[in-house]
Structure 1
Amino acid sequence: MRALILALGVMLATVLPIAAQDARRPAAVLVADRVSVTADGRLMAEGNVEALYDTTRITAQRITYDPDADRLTLDGPIMLIEGDNAMILADAGALDADLRNGLLRGARLVLEDRVQLAANRIDRVGGRYTQLYKVAATSCRVCASDTPPIWQIRARRAIHDQQENQIYFDQAQLRVLDVPILWLPRLRLPDPTLKRATGFMIPSLSQDSQLGVGIRIPYFIRIGDHRDLTITPFISADSKTLELRYRQAFRNGDLEVTGAWSDDTLRPENRGYVFAEGAFDLRRGVTLSFDIEAVTDKAYLVDYGYSDKDRLDSEIALTRVRRDEYANASLITYRTLRDGEENSDIPTIIGDLRYERRLFPRGLGGELRMGFEAHGHRRYSDVDVLGRDVGRAEADLAWLRDWTLPGGVLARLETGLTVDTFRTRQDSTRDRTAGQATPRAGLTLRWPMVKYGGNGITQILEPVAMIGWVGGDRPNIANDESTRVEFDEGNLLSLSRFPAADRRERGASAAYGINWSRLDSNGRRVALTLGHVLRQDADPDFTLTSGLDGTSSNLLVAGQYVTPDGLALTSRTLFNHDFGLSKAEARAAWIRPDLGLGASYVWLAADAAENRNDSVSEWSVDGSYRLSRHWTGTANWRYDVSSDQTAEAGLGLQYRNECVEVNLSLSRRFTSSSIVDPSTDLGITVGLLGFSGQGFDNSYTRTCRN
């Protein structure tokens, strides 16, 4: 029976003027329990009426079509759905035949199932504008008519522009728990479908022991589809600051610039900073990238909480990466912000050029690698030794070949020759020019063994060994680039573990170790690595805590444990010959839907060669926990074990539901120096959710009690 009525509705909608007045109109469909035509020619549909026209769908209890006026009269309850984003609920109304113009009474406009605007009357104009009179707008869930929402906007009139995705309010009043707190003659807000729109963003309040009570009011300017500017005035008792952020997306890259300028009571002069970064794809696979960092004084970034960097680096680089080729050219400048460190005494301008290529000659077999590298760094100081400037160039040729031996042993042979040349200025203790030729050869063996057990458990045991030789003598050049050496799983089987060419390991050496891992079908994984290095001659440029000093290295122990429920443990330790610690680091993380917890520990022994006169022992903990449906707590803590004092600590509390987000934070920096003092910061941010394209999490939505 319903199918017959559907067919009748389609036929009537097709032959009647509602669909026949203009051949260019989309087809209309009308479905109802009862369809009839009155004596004066009106079409009347009653009972579960549904009308479809273009992207609009209407349901009502009764719809009457007047062909003379080309108008629809609707009796509620009425539901008008426009596309995927807008829905109108009303008691009664009248619309023209194409549903573009009309009037609805006792109506509500619902956008994206998040924002609702209730009004005495809604007018549809030109299929683009929806006008609401005596309107109340909110994104809060309203469970009872006698309970006001947490916040709402009351206005004499509101206009929703469906083309521009904007809502305009006249005589707007912001109410919190039905208490008026702000009145504005005009107010414009984006609807939830709009991702970017010009206007004010969420303000924030802060209390800082150095800057006093302050407020930030960001204003976002949409310059176009591909660029925008955010201007944020920050005004406090002791500072007047203007913060800026500019972003632009290009067809072949992107650019972002952030900065601030301050007039405060902490310094007599104005202060500021600028950070800029970008990357662009050029022709023939070349990428241009740059990163610019500048600040007026050493303490500015820390005073305002913009960054905790203690050295700024600005770089411009050209890079091309292909299957068997790599090329890079870069120029970097450094500026130190460390207390007691002078910028003129460190390498400030650094240039690098690097090229590598792989070939696979059929006659020779294996892989042939060719490389070239040029490097130079300059200090501003003109003082002998302290102002040392160095330039070097390197050419390298290597041949590698792999074999699989009986029993499944994997073997790799590496041979090569490197030629270096150095030029040193402003250091009377070093040769002005020097060169070296460094031949090398090494054989690496791996024996992976796999065992499959019950319950999907797989174990892999892999003994590894390397024997090698590096020839040549070390020239009389300074060690500027290889002052810090890390001994880890990545370079256990390397012929030289120095990070740069100004130092190379010489003579015969051997390394051996074992890798073991266990993986089950549930995703639980355990891994362990042990490693040790033996050397014919000790290298004096390996520091005491590098783990590589002497002819016998420290014992490297590294492990990892990962569980399917989000727990991950990683650690790396160097044990000296007395099984004391040279270096140790560990990290634990536990990630669950309602919990995020991380803790790390670092221990470094005192080593004057690494400018560390005292041992370093430090704990850091950070985490968040969702206390309930709407409350989330956060905390972070960094503790200096060596000095037995807390370095930093912070607490945070967030309340969030479907329409409001409140963030409270309290942080304290305990460390001090000649450029920064201990400080305490208290912050609060209140955001009204719903009127933006930001992500929406239904898990925070409140439920109504019966």
Structure 2
Amino acid sequence: MAACLPWCAVAQEGNAEPAAPAQDERVVLEADYVYEVRDENKLVAEGNVEALYQGRILRADKLVYDRTTDRVRASGNIVIIDTDGSQQFADEIEVDSKLADGYAIGFSARLADGATVAANSAIRQGDGVDALDQVVYTACPVCEDHKTPTWSIRARRAVLDQESQMMSYRDAVVEVAGIPVFYFPFLAHPDPNSDRRSGLLIPSAGLSSKLGLFYQQPYYWAISDSSEMTISPLVSQNVNPLMELDFRKKFYSGSINFNTSFTKEQDFDSDGELFGEDTWRSHIYGSGLFAINNHWKWGFGVEHQSDDLYDRRYDIDGQDRQRGLYASQPRRLLSQLFLVGQGDDYYTDVALLKFQGLRAGDDDGELPTATPIFFGQKYWDLGKFGYASVDASSAILSRDLGADSRRVSLGGDWTDLNILPGGFTLKTFAEARGDYYALDKDVSGKANVSRFVGNIGTQLAYPMIRPGEVVDITVEPAVMVAWGLSNVNDPAIPNEDSQLFEFDESTLYEANSFGGYDLYEGDGKLSAGLTTRAVWKNGLDLSTTVGRRWRSRPDPNFNDASNLDGTSSDWVVAASAKYGEAFRVDTRARLDEDGLQLNRIDTTVSTRFDRFRAVGQHYYTISNRDAVQPNVTQGIFLRGEIQVTDQYSFFFGQLRDIEQKLNARQQYGIAFEDDCSRFELVYERSELTDRTLGPEESFMIRFSLKTIGDFGSNEFD
């Protein structure tokens, strides 16, 4: 039987094909049996009933449509699938002919993100407000052998406002594993399907030897579609409250991000003891990046603290992040304004830099201000004649205390790579640069210094590859010979950009190993090295590089740490072994030229398999070995997590200074995680001493509830 009635119904018997809706405003009805009760002006459908209206589907055992009231009543195994994929269930419902407004008995719903809500009854109103009585809400699975959800919100009444996309509760109780934990006369959170919404985020709390008991409650403010702010007041037992703000905004051409905090308090030590002046204290970290066009962009980075130890006193993260074109050294803040341009054959950047020191003994007047630093380079592809480029650079550095300096440089280089008969590769190169320094004569002894530097040389390599059924092997010996101008490093030139340089395998075949401008490696030099790699078909990959450099004469401007003092360098070694994610080792080392004693090693090991993942790093350096007291640094870093069960895990982290016999930082914690939540108990301790701050420890509780809120990263830095 088939008939097109005012509420367009099509009966389906056996394998008859369902009819498509005639137009958007019509409802398609499919059922085993459809019949009409003319005396009551009703249409009845029974058996595997399915009604479709504009993408919304209703399924039931029985459906009755009253033409007089234009209402639909359904009963038995009711399922309503909305256009967003969410599912609603009920024992009995009555809705309008569009399957929208009405009421339901024995109501439950599975939302698009997996959250579940259940109520004794639910009413959907025409103004977009859903009212539920005796309601339970959770993001945890609730159909697994009647398992009690990890957490849930149980309330006397709840209202979902579809226009504001907020879900509010009256007399709400938050339960964990079925046990009541918190009671709220009123509680509200955004609908899980909604966009960004203003409201309270998950707080953080704990016990610290500095702050005592502390509690920080973030509030998220969705200011507009393109801007937002997190307001996080911190209250603690030992010191005055602190206000922390995070502001983010996107523009058509870029974005900005600021983190700041402020308080009015005295200094305090690791035990929370107050001393000194009661004054306003603050910090600000911020960055921004904007596109001018497809090739040019500008940006800024802001870093400032009112006190050297402000971030460590209040455990504020972010001091060591890069916020712009340039990165600073540890415990040094850098504010910068920069412009960058890059095309297919050129690169240019210019920046203004300002430093603030946080280390003991730092005097900001002795740190330089760059006004500005400039670099520009232009490339040319010469075809069979190789590649060439010219570059210009300048640096204007000023100090309130100490020497000012100004440098202007202009240079160029040329490179040509050819493949010779037999598979040899020959690289020929030349570079030249002129520098002019305007100096502080009272400090440097000279008012200005001019110099011309350059190198010319060649690199010969012979890559050999042997494919195999089990392993592919590559062996490449190489040698580089270059000659450069001598006596180019005038002692009057201040070393501003090459202080932390160390010759290693990454610069083994560079004629001038120094990446900066103030020091230059001239004279004659010879580098030889061997690179090998073996790749097994099962995924194992081993590689090594070993080499050394010889120089025609020593340069007194190169110190022991640079590995270029004297006429020969240490042996430099780099090795790695990896087997997918299960295992990886990376090692870099320096072996003394006399006796192959270990002068430096840096080894990182990472593993991830089954229920265990971890990363470990060991570092060791020794300089001035022949001195009465050689300078030795050695430490170890560990971080990992062990999945004890499917839900419980143990995580740990440690940074230990072996020479000082102290733990710079320790972290241990237990975590519980399932499909809808994560809970952490974390213990941290530091034995570092920095002026008035000494050893400290803290205990924290961190948790997140899916669809309700999150905590930050739990990574150990």
TM > 0.5 fold call: yes
Q: CA deviation at 1:299?
A: 0.9
* Percent sequence identity over aligned pairs: 25
Q: Which amino acid aligns with 2:386?
A: G
Give 2:313's aligned residue: 303
Q: How big is each residue's C-alpha offset from its partner over 1:406-454, in whole Å with a ceiling of 9 and x where there is no partner?
A: 1111111112321110111154443211111123211111211111011
Q: How big is each residue's C-alpha offset from its partner over 1:357-399, in whole Å with a ceiling of 9 and x where there is no partner?
A: 111246x822121100101222221xxxxx0111111111222
Q: How big is each residue's C-alpha offset from its partner over 1:113-144, in whole Å with a ceiling of 9 and x where there is no partner?
A: 63222222111223833221232222344469
Give 2:357's aligned residue: 336
Q: Residues of 1 paired with 2:580 and 2:179: CA distance?
A: 49
Give 1:106's aligned residue: 106
Q: Residues of 1 paired with 2:549 and 2:529: CA distance?
A: 9
Which of these residues, 303, 317, 321, is aligned with residue 338 of structure 2? 317
Q: Which amino acid aligns with 2:479?
A: A
Which of these residues, 289, 294, 299, is aligned with residue 289 of structure 1? 299
**RMSD of the alignment, in Å?**
2.8
**Secondary structure class of the residue paired with 1:666:** strand
Give 1:198's aligned residue: 198
Give 1:406's aligned residue: 421
Q: Note if contact 1:424-1:433 (Cα within 8 Å) is conserved in structure 2.
A: yes
Q: CA deviation at 1:293?
A: 0.4
TM-score (norm 2): 0.89
Give 1:702's aligned residue: none
Q: Indicate yes or no: 2:511 matched with 1:495.
A: yes
Give 1:123's aligned residue: 123
**Secondary structure class of the residue paired with 2:660:** coil
Q: Residues of 1 paired with 2:553 and 2:304: CA distance?
A: 45
Q: Which amino acid aligns with 1:287?
A: K
Give 1:248's aligned residue: 249
Q: CA deviation at 1:55?
A: 2.1
Give 2:539's aligned residue: 523
Q: Residues of 1 paired with 2:3 and 2:579: CA distance?
A: 61
Q: Indicate yes or no: 2:482 matched with 1:468.
A: yes
Q: Note if contact 1:193-1:693 (Cα within 8 Å) is conserved in structure 2.
A: no
Q: Note if contact 1:111-1:191 (Cα within 8 Å) is conserved in structure 2.
A: no
- The alpha-carbon distance between structure 1 residues 127 and 591, as it changes in their structure 2 partners (threshold 3 A), is farther
Q: Residues of 2 paired with 1:626 and 1:263: CA distance?
A: 44
Q: Note if contact 1:409-1:446 (Cα within 8 Å) is conserved in structure 2.
A: yes
Give 1:137's aligned residue: 137
Q: CA deviation at 1:83?
A: 1.8
Give 1:271's aligned residue: 281
Q: Residues of 1 paired with 2:264 and 2:23: CA distance?
A: 64
- The alpha-carbon distance between structure 1 residues 348 and 608, as it changes in their structure 2 partners (threshold 3 A), is farther
Q: CA deviation at 1:616?
A: 0.3
- The alpha-carbon distance between structure 1 residues 151 and 527, as it changes in their structure 2 partners (threshold 3 A), is closer
Q: Indicate yes or no: 2:576 matched with 1:582.
A: no
**Secondary structure class of the residue paired with 2:365:** helix
| Range moving further from structure 2, 470-479 or 31-40 | 470-479
Q: Which amino acid aligns with 1:421?
A: Y
Give 1:366's aligned residue: 386
Q: Indicate yes or no: 2:47 matched with 1:47.
A: yes
Runs of at least 5 residues in structure 1 that lack an aligned partner in the other structure: 17-21, 382-386, 696-706
- Which residues of 2 match residues 617-636 of structure 1 at below 5 A? 617-636=634-653
**Secondary structure class of the residue paired with 1:541:** coil
Q: CA deviation at 1:613?
A: 6.6
Give 2:8's aligned residue: 14
| Range moving further from structure 2, 340-349 or 663-672 | 340-349
Give 1:66's aligned residue: 66
Q: CA deviation at 1:147?
A: 7.6
Give 1:34's aligned residue: 33
Give 1:352's aligned residue: 373
Q: Note if contact 1:60-1:79 (Cα within 8 Å) is conserved in structure 2.
A: yes
Q: Which amino acid aligns with 2:554?
A: A
Q: Note if contact 2:501-2:562 (Cα within 8 Å) is conserved in structure 1.
A: yes
Q: Number of paired residues?
A: 678
TM-score (norm 1): 0.90
Q: Indicate yes or no: 2:656 matched with 1:639.
A: yes
Q: CA deviation at 1:103?
A: 1.3
Q: Residues of 2 paired with 1:241 and 1:317: CA distance?
A: 32
Give 2:526's aligned residue: 510
Q: Note if contact 1:58-1:78 (Cα within 8 Å) is conserved in structure 2.
A: yes
| Range moving further from structure 2, 660-669 or 107-116 | 107-116
Q: CA deviation at 1:163?
A: 4.5
Q: Residues of 2 paired with 1:564 and 1:681: CA distance?
A: 37
Q: Note if contact 1:138-1:153 (Cα within 8 Å) is conserved in structure 2.
A: yes
**Secondary structure class of the residue paired with 1:344:** helix
Runs of at least 5 residues in structure 2 that lack an aligned partner in the other structure: 11-20, 269-274, 321-330, 713-717
Give 2:694's aligned residue: 677
Q: CA deviation at 1:212?
A: 0.6
Q: Indicate yes or no: 2:379 matched with 1:378.
A: no
Q: Which amino acid aligns with 2:261?
A: A
Q: Note if contact 2:206-2:214 (Cα within 8 Å) is conserved in structure 1.
A: yes
- The alpha-carbon distance between structure 1 residues 273 and 428, as it changes in their structure 2 partners (threshold 3 A), is closer
Q: Which amino acid aligns with 1:262?
A: T
Q: How big is each residue's C-alpha offset from its partner over 1:328-372, in whole Å with a ceiling of 9 and x where there is no partner?
A: 00111111111123222333446310000111246x822121100
Q: CA deviation at 1:644?
A: 2.4
**Secondary structure class of the residue paired with 1:312:** strand
| Range moving further from structure 2, 460-469 or 654-663 | 654-663
Q: How big is each residue's C-alpha offset from its partner over 1:429-480, in whole Å with a ceiling of 9 and x where there is no partner?
A: 432111111232111112111110113x221111111110111532332223
- The alpha-carbon distance between structure 1 residues 582 and 351, as it changes in their structure 2 partners (threshold 3 A), is farther
Q: Which amino acid aligns with 2:336?
A: E
- The alpha-carbon distance between structure 1 residues 420 and 495, as it changes in their structure 2 partners (threshold 3 A), is same
Q: Residues of 1 paired with 2:507 and 2:178: CA distance?
A: 66
Q: Residues of 2 paired with 1:339 and 1:351: CA distance?
A: 27
Q: CA deviation at 1:112?
A: 2.5
- The alpha-carbon distance between structure 1 residues 182 and 668, as it changes in their structure 2 partners (threshold 3 A), is closer
Q: Residues of 2 paired with 1:631 and 1:86: CA distance?
A: 31
Q: Note if contact 2:498-2:516 (Cα within 8 Å) is conserved in structure 1.
A: yes
Give 2:453's aligned residue: 438
